[in-house]
């Protein structure tokens, strides 16, 4: 394990459950369509093309840092990019989200997946990390990320976004050996990919297992936990904090923590006061409802204060939303939330 110098960024201090000067704040999907400067780039360039051009991806990563004054930047990429070198045909269809032309439906499909070397096959993303790292001030942390094994598998199997995860669960229940093979391969690749991001300058990593909340606790234990546990135990060797995030996980909070991660992401359905009690040994991240940013300012401010009150004046809280920023969010409201969180917590733990 690498022994790092004492971190100065409030995000890294809070991640280590140390007093941070103020509660650090960043937003999932902080780079994106609610920002006019992002839309201007997207008008001329597809999502995949932005990801393939490091200068452009770095610029888009830095846009919210400049505009909002957040305490962390998150690499601009997508959890589904690694599926392309694995042999899947990925495109982002307007209004439809991701579409995979040749989804995995059988054990034979899974056996055909190509092994990926992130340093070669995802070189553009790693170059983006290097560029952003060089451009950031020390007080702003750079977060790398990857999808969690269940969530990436679900897109690869469904061929896109899903409501019931029917094909995913059909394969999980019906071809258990192939399922475990798939998740083990995704987890092993993800260790390699995140290690390469850390080498390139990422100071923390987030694993987005966004959709694990669709599983019961016992199915999570049987079908996902061993793979996530292997993933996070390898990540510990990287010497950077790892955030473990999922949505609709009130029934899984302790189990996600058991799988790993120093910081657990909490969505808006679980009060942070409850999360604190259930996770006494972890930092927590969250959990304003993304829709609160659509409310009149006074209402949004009240909800923001409530999140801080529930987190308590205890080190180890990273302010965020419970899920990503919605595209129709007014930029000014986002900026005011950052200022309010900083103002209300200035000088506290
Ligand atoms: O600012 C950031 O958060 C960094 C960049 C980022 C993107 N995707 C870019 C993106 C991150 C961290 C992701 C993660 C991601 N991608 C997740 C996990 C987070 C979550 O929301 O649960 C998932 C499930 C995906 C897959 C994905 N990518 C979907 C379902 C979609 C379509 C839905 C949507 O929001 O439009 C995408 C497209 C995508 N990835 C956009 C962005 C900014 C949409 C904007 C565009 O078309 O320009």
Decide if 109 is catalytic.
no
Identify the pLDDT of residue 131: 98
Of the candidates 248, 268, 251, 280, the one whose C-alpha atom is nearest the C-alpha of residue 320 is: 268
Asked whether residue 268 carries a pLDDT value surpassing 60, the answer given is: yes
Query: Sign (positive/negative) of CA torsion 43, 47, 53, 57?
Result: positive
Per-residue model confidence as pLDDT tens digits over 54-89: 999 999 999 999 999 999 999 999 999 999 999 999
Distance 55 CA to ligand 1 centre (A): 19
Check if the beta carbon of residue 284 is closer than 8 Å to that of residue 247. Answer: no
Asked whether residue 348 carries a pLDDT value surpassing 90, the answer given is: no
Asked whether residue 4 carries a pLDDT value surpassing 60, the answer given is: no
Whether residue 78 has its Cβ less than 6 Å from ligand 1: yes
Q: Which atom of ligand 1 is nearest to the CA of 80?
A: 26
Whether residue 210 has its Cβ less than 6 Å from ligand 1: yes
Per-residue model confidence as pLDDT tens digits over 100-117: 999 999 999 999 999 999
Decide if 155 is catalytic.
yes
Q: Which atom of ligand 1 is nearest to the CA of 64?
A: 1
Per-residue model confidence as pLDDT tens digits over 111-141: 999 999 999 999 999 999 999 999 999 999 9
Whether residue 27 has its Cβ less than 6 Å from ligand 1: no
Identify the pLDDT of residue 349: 59
Which residues make beta-bridge pairs with 285?
265, 318
Identify the pLDDT of residue 5: 58
Which of 18, 42, 130, 236 is labelled catalytic? 42
Q: What is the pTM of this model?
A: 0.96
DSSP category for residue 244: E
Asked whether residue 2 carries a pLDDT value surpassing 60, the answer given is: no
Which of 29, 236, 278, 336 is labelled catalytic? 29
Give 32-40's long-range contacts (Cβ < 8 A, gap of 24+).
32/324, 32/325, 32/327, 33/327, 34/325, 34/326, 34/327, 34/328, 34/329, 34/330, 34/331, 34/334, 35/63, 35/64, 35/67, 35/331, 36/331, 37/63, 37/67, 38/63
Identify the pLDDT of residue 93: 83
Shortest-distance Cα residue to atom 18 of ligand 1:
208
Whether residue 321 has its Cβ less than 6 Å from ligand 1: no
Q: What is the mean pLDDT of residues 230-246?
A: 98
95 pLDDT tier (thresholds 50, 70, 90):
confident
Whether residue 261 has its Cβ less than 6 Å from ligand 1: no
Q: What is the mean pLDDT of residues 320-325?
A: 98
Element (H, E) at 141: strand 141-147
Q: What is the mean pLDDT of residues 261-278?
A: 98
Decide if 29 is catalytic.
yes
Check if the beta carbon of residue 31 is closer than 8 Å to that of residue 74. Answer: yes
Q: Which atom of ligand 1 is nearest to the CA of 78?
A: 8
Shortest-distance Cα residue to atom 47 of ligand 1:
47
Whether residue 98 has its Cβ less than 6 Å from ligand 1: yes
In whole angstroms, what is the distance from residue 286 CA to residue 298 CA?
20
Identify the pLDDT of residue 35: 98
3 pLDDT tier (thresholds 50, 70, 90):
low
Shortest-distance Cα residue to atom 39 of ligand 1:
78
Decide if 34 is catalytic.
no
Decide if 33 is catalytic.
yes
Best residue among 324, 328, 331, 334 to mutate for probing ligand 1, ranked by most atoms within 8 Å of CB:
324
Of the candidates 187, 176, 178, the one whose C-alpha atom is nearest the C-alpha of residue 147 is: 187
Whether residue 80 has its Cβ less than 6 Å from ligand 1: yes
Distance 73 CA to ligand 1 centre (A): 15
Best residue among 26, 78, 100 to mutate for probing ligand 1, ranked by most atoms within 8 Å of CB:
78
Written as six digits, the tokens of 344 are: 């209300």
Q: In what order do the strands lie in the sheet with 141-147?
A: 72-74, 141-147, 204-208, 242-245, 263-265, 283-288, 317-321
Identify the pLDDT of residue 94: 82
Distance 304 CA to ligand 1 centre (A): 24
Asked whether residue 20 carries a pLDDT value surpassing 80, the answer given is: yes
DSSP category for residue 249: -
- Percentage of the chain beyond pLDDT 90 is 96
Of the candidates 61, 56, 37, the one whose C-alpha atom is nearest the C-alpha of residue 201 is: 61
In whole angstroms, what is the distance from residue 35 CA to residue 46 CA?
16
């Amino acid at each position: 394990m690498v022994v790092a110098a004492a971190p100065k960024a409030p995000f890294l201090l809070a991640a280590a459950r140390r007093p941070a000067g103020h509660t650090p704040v960043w937003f999932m999907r902080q780079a994106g369509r609610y920002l006019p400067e992002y839309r201007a780039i997207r008008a001329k360039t597809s999502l995949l093309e932005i990801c393939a051009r490091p200068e452009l991806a770095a610029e888009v990563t830095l846009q919210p840092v400049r505009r909002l004054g957040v305490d962390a930047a998150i690499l601009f990429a997508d959890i589904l990019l690694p599926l392309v070198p694995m042999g899947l045909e990925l495109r982002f269809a307007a209004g439809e989200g991701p579409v995979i032309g040749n989804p995995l439906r059988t054990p034979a499909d899974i056996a055909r997946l190509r092994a990926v070397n992130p340093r070669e096959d995802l070189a553009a993303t790693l170059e983006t990390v290097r560029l952003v790292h060089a451009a950031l001030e020390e007080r702003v942390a750079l977060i790398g990320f990857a999808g969690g094994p269940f969530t990436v598998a679900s897109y690869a199997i469904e061929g896109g976004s899903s409501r019931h995860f029917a094909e995913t669960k059909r394969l999980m229940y019906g071809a258990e050996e192939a399922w475990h093979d798939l998740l083990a391969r995704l987890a092993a690749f993800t260790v390699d990919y995140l290690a390469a991001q850390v080498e390139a300058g990422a100071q923390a990593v987030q694993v987005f297992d966004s959709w694990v909340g669709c599983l019961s606790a016992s199915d999570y234990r049987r079908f996902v936990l061993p793979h996530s546990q292997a993933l996070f135990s390898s990540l510990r060797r990287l010497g950077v904090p790892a955030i473990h995030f999922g949505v609709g996980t009130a029934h899984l909070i302790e189990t996600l923590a058991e799988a790993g991660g120093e910081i657990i992401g909490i969505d808006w359905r679980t009060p942070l006061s409850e999360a604190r009690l259930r996770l006494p040994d972890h930092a927590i991240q969250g959990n304003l409802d993304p829709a609160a940013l659509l409310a009149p300012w006074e209402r949004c401010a009240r909800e923001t204060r409530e999140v801080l009150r529930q987190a308590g004046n205890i080190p180890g809280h990273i302010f965020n939303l419970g899920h990503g920023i919605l595209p129709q969010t007014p930029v000014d409201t986002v900026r005011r939330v950052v200022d309010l969180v900083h103002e209300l917590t200035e000088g506290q733990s």
